[in-house]
Structure 1
Amino acid sequence: MRQAERAIFDLRRGMPVLLRDDAGDTLIAPIEGFGTAALEEARALAGSAPALVLSRHRLASLGVDVSDVSATQHFDSAQAPGFPLLTQFALGRSSAMPKAPRLAPVPSSAAERAGLLLMRHAQLVPAALAFAVGAGQADAVVQHLAEGSLLVVKVASAIELCESGPGQLKRVSDARVPLANLGDSRFVLFREEDGVREHVAIVLGERENWADAVPVRVHSSCLTGDIFGSQRCDCGAQLRNSLAAICSMGGGVLLYLAQEGRGIGLANKLRAYRLQDEGLDTIDADQVIGFSKDERDYRIAQQMLDDLGIQRIELLTNNPEKVSALRKAGIDVVSRRALYGQLNDHNQHYLRTNRVLKISGSPSVSSPLGKIDFENRPLSP
């Protein structure tokens, strides 16, 4: 497992890793951070042409339906596309796709599937280049491994890392932080086991003054909205309003999770923004890049609340799907309270898309303020 965690950092640096199982060795490389020279080096080391591993969401945006998490496009060795065309297949819009070679992917091998899962875990573009290592390349691979220029990971370990969730969070540090107009708070920082992400619990008020069902907001980080006041979303307003609401209720906790862009990461969120500028809505833009409508994992929130000794909560959210997701993660959501964002010319389409997406959830969780009319309330991300 430790080797799989190390592989995340190599991939984020644009370096290939070697995945190994009983079927043989497969060199896996990211589309993001790679390039033509690196592609030729990987091809020479493996002794084979690259195959392109794409997520089912990316393939759906190209009109190809697959049932597994991924599928793999193989190319004729003599006519394998160069890196720019591979990038186009991984990220381009269907309207800009070249007519040849035509995509006809086949089920991914275990190593190819593991490679794609590693890309997602690293918050890279969910597309992978896969090179089957030929029998005649064993000595070259051994030399790279001995030099430390190549990392080998068991396929099973890579899959286990990516499918087991965030792993055990570690409570790292905490401190008193006075907040404007809100008084003292305590920031408690948690780090995921693989060291990639950090999350913060913002504890407001005195514990003895909290309600039995502790007011809690689970807020996914949004650099553009929370810090810089982007008008493409209502995240900043939701963050500030929820902190004020928690204080007015006698105190509670805001969990600030490092799950930018519904879990796809800041780089991919900005890629999605560019696609939205071309006319796509937020869900379709995420699919073009290769992601589902929501990649977040709320087991993180459950671990943080456990560490803080909180068993029962009143959830501050407009999103009924978040209630279901937190309950599925093992959190006792007793009730729900609505929050309000700010509508403007830049976020109307975004909020309408979220509303259509989320009103399918049943508003079965009661609130002290009564049931919420999801049809007429803009919903937060």
Structure 2
Amino acid sequence: MYQVERAIFDLRRGLAVVIHDDREPSDAGVLVYPVESIADAELRETLELVGGAPALTVTRHRMEAMGFSTQAEAACLPLRRADGLRAEALYLAAVASDGIGARLFGDPRPAGTSERAALALMRRALLVPAAITAGIDASRRTALDSLVADGRILRVSARAAERCFESGTGMLRRVSEADIPLVESVRSRFILFREPDGLREHVAVAIGDAENWPDEVPVRLHSACLTGDLFGSLRCDCGEQLQNGVRTILKLGGGLLLYLAQEGRGIGLANKLRAYDLQDAGLDTVDADQVLGFGEDERRYRAAVDILAALSIKRVKLLTNNPNKIHALAEGGIEVSARGSVYGRVTRQNRCYLEAKARRSGHLLRDVLDEQ
């Protein structure tokens, strides 16, 4: 896990890493560079370093946005000519809504094990899931091994990288806590949990007196939304859902609100803002995420299960409009004995967003949409 965590931070810093398939002893590995961080000089140096043919590696969703067809979950697009190619053109090829840059590439091929692992690391690092990848030529292997031995570049196994989303399972750490009186609930206590890789911190907000909670503990899983929760963005209903969630839990006798670090349905704030820009160009919230290469919903709820277990909560009334949260808790061994809805207002600015969540993702919003 240690090497994977280092790889995530190196990628976020804009550094290349080597991923090798440890199930193949002869595999020299693939050099991986995050497409959103690379600069022209670094691109040239990287390609000279490994000697292999470079490619843009992207997800199936991004392939479709670029106008390619593939059955593979990820694919590599060979660069037609690497010399003179600018990093900005590769970035636009990975994020633009109109498939710009398709002319830069040859026929796609399915991504290999190391390349798929590279995209998993990108998503875990909250980067655009696209990378410049190049196989390490045999003639450069000794020189690259020397750089790895000197600590100038990190090598990580594909098998470990593929499991990067599972690395924190059961290892969430309770870090600190304090009483925080809220407008909606004066008796509230914040308990902070940190994931092992240090990237994400989640807060359990205990509302009311825990010793007086119902046996069926009211619980709300709220994904962090900086724009809505803090600034009152009209593009979503998150801020009002947060406030209404606290209010509802208190009315039910107290319980728990989990404030989960899952901005933008798990894609991170930077990518969420990119998706907003695409929505302004006419895409709905699901299509915008997929154009960037993400799935319909990148959230995982293992952290929520671990927090509930750490707080000895086994049976809940879940306040949610999202059936996926019910299934996730049930699969994690939490009994969801009842469900309640939590709505915000439907406005001119957020109606399309809410309609897309109901139509495309099965969120239980028809009552409030039809009413308002």
Q: Same fold (TM over 0.5)?
A: yes
Q: Could you say which residue in structure 2 is the equivalent of 1:70?
A: 74
The amino acid that maps onto 2:263 is E
Q: Could you say which residue in structure 2 is the equivalent of 1:367?
A: none
- Answer yes or no: is 1:169 the counterpart of 2:172: yes
- Answer yes or no: is 1:85 the counterpart of 2:57: no
The amino acid that maps onto 1:70 is A
Cα distance in structure 2, aligned partners of 1:219 and 1:161: 23
**How far has the Cα of 1:269 moved from its partner?**
0.2
- Answer yes or no: is 1:375 the counterpart of 2:366: yes
Cα distance in structure 1, aligned partners of 2:165 and 2:252: 38
Q: 2:122 aligns with which of 119, 122, 126?
A: 119
Cα distance in structure 2, aligned partners of 1:202 and 1:100: 51
TM-score w.r.t. the length of structure 2 is: 0.93
Cα distance in structure 1, aligned partners of 2:108 and 2:180: 53
Contact 2:346–2:368, Cα closer than 8 Å, also in 1: no
Cα distance in structure 1, aligned partners of 2:125 and 2:19: 16
Contact 1:166–1:193, Cα closer than 8 Å, also in 2: no
Q: Could you say which residue in structure 2 is the equivalent of 1:36?
A: 40
Write out the 4+ residue segments of structure 1 that deviate beyond 6 Å after TM superposition.
none
Q: How many residues were matched structurally?
A: 366
Cα distance in structure 1, aligned partners of 2:35 and 2:335: 41
Q: Could you say which residue in structure 1 is the equivalent of 2:113?
A: 110
SS in 2 for 1:318: coil
What aligned pairs does 1:108-147 form with structure 2 within 5 A after superposition?
108-147=111-150
Q: Could you say which residue in structure 2 is the equivalent of 1:371?
A: none
Q: Could you say which residue in structure 1 is the equivalent of 2:2?
A: 2
Cα distance in structure 1, aligned partners of 2:186 and 2:107: 59
User: Alpha-carbon deviations, 1:78-120, whole Å to 9, x = none?
Assistant: 66843222222211123x5246235531111111111111101
Cα distance in structure 2, aligned partners of 1:237 and 1:165: 31
Gaps of 5+ in 1: 364-373
Q: 1:116 to 1:99 in 2, by over 3 A?
A: closer
53-62 or 189-198, larger mean C-alpha shift: 53-62
Q: 1:231 to 1:241 in 2, by over 3 A?
A: same
Q: 1:333 to 1:324 in 2, by over 3 A?
A: same
Q: Could you say which residue in structure 2 is the equivalent of 1:289?
A: 292
TM-score w.r.t. the length of structure 1 is: 0.91
What aligned pairs does 1:326-341 form with structure 2 within 5 A after superposition?
326-341=329-344
The amino acid that maps onto 2:242 is L
**How far has the Cα of 1:317 moved from its partner?**
1.3
The amino acid that maps onto 2:20 is R
- Answer yes or no: is 1:16 the counterpart of 2:16: yes
Q: 1:85 to 1:167 in 2, by over 3 A?
A: farther
Cα distance in structure 2, aligned partners of 1:103 and 1:302: 44
Cα distance in structure 1, aligned partners of 2:283 and 2:274: 12
After superposition, the CA RMSD in angstroms is: 2.0
Q: 1:190 aligns with which of 174, 193, 197?
A: 193
Contact 1:11–1:30, Cα closer than 8 Å, also in 2: yes
Q: 2:51 aligns with which of 28, 47, 53?
A: 47
**How far has the Cα of 1:77 moved from its partner?**
5.2
**How far has the Cα of 1:151 moved from its partner?**
0.8
User: Alpha-carbon deviations, 1:122-174, whole Å to 9, x = none?
Assistant: 11000011111112212321332243221111222212224556562111111
Q: 1:203 aligns with which of 201, 206, 213?
A: 206
Percent identity over the alignment is: 48
**How far has the Cα of 1:38 moved from its partner?**
1.0
Cα distance in structure 2, aligned partners of 1:63 and 1:78: 21
66-75 or 205-214, larger mean C-alpha shift: 66-75
User: Alpha-carbon deviations, 1:10-36, whole Å to 9, x = none?
Assistant: 000000001123322211110122111
Gaps of 5+ in 2: none
User: Alpha-carbon deviations, 1:290-336, whole Å to 9, x = none?
Assistant: 11110000111110000000000001112233222322333211001
The amino acid that maps onto 2:79 is F
